[in-house]
């Protein structure tokens, strides 16, 4: 899920998904990754966050969240 989306940001969307009671691992992928966005992502229940500038790490991030782990890029 991207942070910047037309009607709501990715963190708001993740909160809504979490409120539905389903346990879906969500990974935030965004150009504007910052420590503040990563903290919001953690609090919203996202399992990871990665910058689009580090897209080569995406396969590792996906595998981590599939295993039930977290993957937050270092900034």
pLDDT, tens digit (0-9, with 9 covering 90-100), for 6-53: 888 888 888 888 888 878 899 999 998 999 999 999 999 999 999 999
Domain boundaries, the chain: 10-72
Identify the CATH homologous superfamily for domain 10-72: Response regulator (3.40.50.2300)
Q: What is the largest CA-CA distance in the chain?
A: 32
**pLDDT of amino acid 3:** 81
* Nearest CA among 19, 33, 22 for reference residue 61: 33
Per-residue pLDDT, averaged over 54-73, amounts to 94
Q: Smallest Cα–Cα separation from 47: which of 26, 64, 24, 62?
A: 26
């Amino acid at each position: 899920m991207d942070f910047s989306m037309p009607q709501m940001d990715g963190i708001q969307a993740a909160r809504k998904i979490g409120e539905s009671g389903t346990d879906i691992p969500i990974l935030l992928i965004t150009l504007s990754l910052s420590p503040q966005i990563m903290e919001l992502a953690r609090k919203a229940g996202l399992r990871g966050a990665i910058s689009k500038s580090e897209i080569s790490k995406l396969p590792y991030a996906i595998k981590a969240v599939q295993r039930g782990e977290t993957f937050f890029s270092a900034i």
